[in-house]
Structure 1
Amino acid sequence: MFVPDSPNAYKVYEQKNAISKDATLGHYFIDKDKYDELKGFAVQPEDIIVSCAGTIGETYVLPLNIREGIINQALMTIRLFDKSISNFYLLYFDFILKREAAKESKGTAIKNIPPFDILKNFFIPLPPPKEQIRIIEKVSYWLSFVDAIDSEESEMSNLISKTKSKILDLAIHGKLVLQDPNDEPAIELLKRINPDFTPCDNGHNGKLPYEIPESWVWCGHNSILDISGGAQPSKNYFETKPKPNYIRLYQIRDYGEYPVPVYIPIDLASKQTKKGDILLARYGGSLGKVFHAEQGAYNVAMAKVIFKFENLIYKEFAYYYYLSGLYQGKLKEISRTAQAGFNSTDFNDMYFPLPPLAEQQRIVQKIEELFSVLDNIQNALEV
């Protein structure tokens, strides 16, 4: 059906022409015989083409110098008898016709917006020409404010994200809350658990990532925390709804940013979590994501953080450490590729900045207090 481009070929207009507002895009052409056969779908200059599948309802007024051709099945054409009302018609189309047509077409298998039979039966209130101009000018004026608000909301969201990152950065540098001289130094915690432990220098000799307060201590990640890999049965065992004797398995891979629960027979759940356990995404598109687990199992795409000494680390402090730029940056260093990810041995050379236990709790309280304020702002932006 399609032929190579040539001076004698006719263009086939596609959805991307309407979506991108560009009549030159596309690489499909037909010969004259096929064009004559499909001439009922031919376009003319100043026709309005509308995308009707996927990204639906995008309109584009074809320019005067378009190449002769036809539309494909993902487009529809609107040809006005009077081109002078084009701007007002497009305004009405965007704000009224698409919405009403969508209501009329609910329940249909194919969502074309607007469906032909519905569009043809619509009555359009047509103001005098000068009033059309005034309406368009006023709408454009107010839309400029809406666009400005949308831009400001996007900037605010980015600022909130950066602020959270800065809060975490201050937290792991010992600068988010004041140190209390009455706190037991972190080194004493380590000595009490392991008298033979040799502490790292606190960063003053330049070998460690940065300086930390005197009451803190740098220690090897694997000396206080361990990483356990998950397990995953074959796809035959997955269920989408809970059943008796089934257990949740939190699946990250291929599901986006947040874990999605599926279900497997409980006797196959060789790796399980308790509610609140910390899971780390080990590879793939979610590499570096940090999750609080629910009760259940976890798969090979995740690693579970195991606390060797429950009285040494406040679990929420570790959680925020994994969200911080220090961990995320180190993760990029040790991960060969997103697919290869990391394994438990990769953590052997990673340092952990350990505050006194009481200060860990104060840090977490301050983080959660500040994050709550920022989350409230973010939620207000989305209303």
Structure 2
Amino acid sequence: MDTKKLRQKILDLAIRGKLVPQDPNDEPASVLLERIKAEKEQLIKDGKIKRSKKSASSDTSPYENVPFEIPENWAWCKPSDVFIINHRNNAEDTIEVGFVPMPLIKDGYHYQHSYESVLWKTVKTGYTHFTNGDFGLAKITPCFENRKSVIFNNLPNGIGAGTTELHILRPIMIDVKYVSYFYSSEEFISYGIKNFSGAVGQQRISKEVIEDFGFALPPQKEQNRIIEAVEKWFSIIDQLEQEQTDLKNAIKRAKSKILDLAIHGKLVPQDPNDEPAIDLLRRINPSFKPCDNAHYKNLPFEIPESWVWVKHNDILEISGGAQPGKSYFSSVQLPNYIRLYQIRDYGDTPIPVYIPIELASKQTRKGDILLARYGGSLGKVFIAEDGAYNVAMAKIIFRYEQPINKDYVYYYYLSDIYQNKLKEISRTAQAGFNSNDFNEMFFPLPPINEQKRVVLEIKKYSELLDNIIAEL
């Protein structure tokens, strides 16, 4: 279930008058609109606000081609008639105001947000001012597209200030929660995106775009019913999202538990007919010494009799990546160029980079195991593609091919025995690791046939759990 789309559908039904039934006893929105206009005229007469150019120009309705149909007792109106837009208070310079920067504004699906604000002792000229109960709407990309908005509450001295990144709407006799639903709807967001202006990197929607898109005004009592219905449905969706989150966390824990059972020798039964791991190692290297003699007293845990503890670096080697200077990078594959893989290439937004093959000193083949060496990806394990790999990654090299299953090694690096070691040796994410950091790390090695059975069992459970995640 796409809960984000479900929220959007509810908002779109709400602003079309299709979420709750109409009540013929409600005061029509046309009457409410006249009362709003009268209140605004009084504010203008009292000198508290200025008459907007939109209101002064004409009273003729600009909505010959309305965005959508609304119920009979609703009314289309000009936003400049029912809102004070981008108001500037005549505040004293000594008043402390809360300044709310855009990064602290949350997405606009819920009507109320918590945020921290910094205090200014001076109200700066040219900044939009707002008070408790005003509605702030992002007007820059991508914040606008992501529906970032806020209903301001708990402002210092009841007044705040925002940069040119925000449009501020102060509704008159209209519940601000309904306002937030209207301006978070797909109908309005799509209209705003079509009317972005300015440079591609910092496009904006103008005040005129907000004013030109007609406001669908319900009767006051219906506004209350809409708010109650939206909050009820959003509360149910919140529960669904929490259940999804809880299930995803449970699946993550289940995967971790499966790996833990696997490296403890408890995921599949042992077969007495399997050749013990130590016998296979000694056939390959007669001088091989396991870690189960008196010299090793701090082995991590008990393993089955047919398994053997070995030092990580006795059977596996870590080879750090390399890359030439960026002047050699190409965004297209030229003749005799090879793909240089970076950590981001294993994420959702890969950016292809190619380098001359003679400068690709560290190459990998499809199926090789790569480890993230430092940074925010430290601890992640990747399956390589054909190409070269850069300094942020290390490739696993097998000292002995015969006694170790590559998939089993991959799952070993996903398990806690490796991940906990990283936490121990990496003081910071940027510190990362080198090959000698794993001299004293242990590897629980099962018989080769049991490794294969373990891998099959892990894959079976992983596929099942991944299917559950996909269904969400």
- Within 5 Å, which residues of 2 pair with 1:61-80? 61=152, 66-68=157-159, 70-80=161-171
Q: Out of 87, 93, 107, which is 2:177 matched to?
A: 87
Q: Distance in 2 between matches of 1:147 and 1:327?
A: 36
Q: Distance in 2 between matches of 1:191 and 1:63?
A: 73
TM-score by length of 2: 0.70
Local SS of the residue matching 1:322: helix
Over 3 Å counting, the alpha-carbon distance change for 1:155 and 1:301 in structure 2 is same
Local SS of the residue matching 1:222: helix
The residue identity in structure 2 corresponding to 1:55 is C
Q: Which residue of 2 aligns with 1:3?
A: none
The residue identity in structure 1 corresponding to 2:288 is F
Over 3 Å counting, the alpha-carbon distance change for 1:207 and 1:314 in structure 2 is same
Local SS of the residue matching 2:437: helix
Report Cα offsets for 1:136-168 as digits up to 9, x if no partner. Answer: 211211111111111111111111111111111
Q: Which residue of 1 aligns with 2:135?
A: 48
The answer to whether residue 198 in structure 2 is matched with residue 105 in structure 1 is no
Over 3 Å counting, the alpha-carbon distance change for 1:131 and 1:258 in structure 2 is closer
- Which deviates more, 215-224 or 61-70? 61-70
- Residue 339 of structure 1 deviates from its aligned partner by 2.4
Q: Which residue of 2 aligns with 1:14?
A: 100
- Residue 247 of structure 1 deviates from its aligned partner by 0.5
Local SS of the residue matching 2:179: helix
The answer to whether residue 211 in structure 2 is matched with residue 120 in structure 1 is yes
Q: Is the 2:134–2:176 contact (alpha carbons within 8 Å) kept by the matching residues of 1?
A: no
Q: Is the 2:99–2:161 contact (alpha carbons within 8 Å) kept by the matching residues of 1?
A: yes
Over 3 Å counting, the alpha-carbon distance change for 1:182 and 1:63 in structure 2 is closer
Over 3 Å counting, the alpha-carbon distance change for 1:197 and 1:367 in structure 2 is same
Q: Out of 95, 104, 118, which is 1:26 matched to?
A: 118
- Residue 49 of structure 1 deviates from its aligned partner by 2.3
Q: Which residue of 2 aligns with 1:141?
A: 232
Local SS of the residue matching 1:360: helix
Report Cα offsets for 1:284-305 as digits up to 9, x if no partner. Answer: 2222221111111112222211
* Structure 1 unmatched runs, 5+: 1-5
Over 3 Å counting, the alpha-carbon distance change for 1:152 and 1:271 in structure 2 is same
The residue identity in structure 1 corresponding to 2:118 is G
- Which deviates more, 323-332 or 171-180? 323-332
Q: Is the 2:97–2:121 contact (alpha carbons within 8 Å) kept by the matching residues of 1?
A: yes
Structure index of larger Rg: 2
Q: Distance in 2 between matches of 1:135 and 1:223?
A: 68
- Within 5 Å, which residues of 2 pair with 1:204-243? 207-243=298-334
Q: Is the 1:18–1:50 contact (alpha carbons within 8 Å) kept by the matching residues of 2?
A: no
Report Cα offsets for 1:247-274 as digits up to 9, x if no partner. Answer: 1111128997997642111110011111
The residue identity in structure 2 corresponding to 1:8 is T
Local SS of the residue matching 1:165: helix
Over 3 Å counting, the alpha-carbon distance change for 1:164 and 1:131 in structure 2 is same
Over 3 Å counting, the alpha-carbon distance change for 1:168 and 1:7 in structure 2 is same
Q: Is the 2:369–2:384 contact (alpha carbons within 8 Å) kept by the matching residues of 1?
A: yes
Report Cα offsets for 1:79-111 as digits up to 9, x if no partner. Answer: 32x234433222222225542333432686344
Report Cα offsets for 1:314-369 as digits up to 9, x if no partner. Answer: 11101110110001112222335432322122222221100000000010011111
Q: Is the 2:97–2:155 contact (alpha carbons within 8 Å) kept by the matching residues of 1?
A: no
Over 3 Å counting, the alpha-carbon distance change for 1:275 and 1:307 in structure 2 is same
Q: Is the 2:316–2:396 contact (alpha carbons within 8 Å) kept by the matching residues of 1?
A: yes
Over 3 Å counting, the alpha-carbon distance change for 1:323 and 1:202 in structure 2 is farther
Over 3 Å counting, the alpha-carbon distance change for 1:307 and 1:62 in structure 2 is closer
Percent of residue pairs bearing the same amino acid type: 50
Over 3 Å counting, the alpha-carbon distance change for 1:267 and 1:140 in structure 2 is same
Local SS of the residue matching 1:169: helix
Q: Is the 1:202–1:208 contact (alpha carbons within 8 Å) kept by the matching residues of 2?
A: no
- Which deviates more, 18-27 or 177-186? 18-27
Q: Distance in 1 between matches of 2:248 and 2:116?
A: 36
Q: Out of 452, 459, 464, which is 1:368 matched to?
A: 459
- Residue 237 of structure 1 deviates from its aligned partner by 1.3
Q: Is the 2:369–2:383 contact (alpha carbons within 8 Å) kept by the matching residues of 1?
A: yes
TM-score by length of 1: 0.86
Q: Out of 390, 397, 406, which is 1:299 matched to?
A: 390
Q: Is the 1:239–1:263 contact (alpha carbons within 8 Å) kept by the matching residues of 2?
A: yes
Q: Distance in 2 between matches of 1:22 and 1:280?
A: 39
Q: Which residue of 2 aligns with 1:265?
A: 356
Q: Out of 423, 446, 468, which is 1:355 matched to?
A: 446
Over 3 Å counting, the alpha-carbon distance change for 1:206 and 1:233 in structure 2 is same
Local SS of the residue matching 2:216: coil
Local SS of the residue matching 1:312: coil
Q: Distance in 2 between matches of 1:211 and 1:98?
A: 63
Local SS of the residue matching 2:168: strand
The answer to whether residue 372 in structure 2 is matched with residue 278 in structure 1 is no
Q: Is the 1:12–1:29 contact (alpha carbons within 8 Å) kept by the matching residues of 2?
A: no
Q: RMSD between aligned alpha carbons?
A: 3.1
Q: Is the 2:345–2:352 contact (alpha carbons within 8 Å) kept by the matching residues of 1?
A: no
Local SS of the residue matching 2:353: strand
Q: Is the 2:251–2:465 contact (alpha carbons within 8 Å) kept by the matching residues of 1?
A: yes
Q: Is the 1:183–1:358 contact (alpha carbons within 8 Å) kept by the matching residues of 2?
A: yes
Over 3 Å counting, the alpha-carbon distance change for 1:22 and 1:136 in structure 2 is closer
Over 3 Å counting, the alpha-carbon distance change for 1:46 and 1:349 in structure 2 is closer
Q: Distance in 2 between matches of 1:79 and 1:157?
A: 41
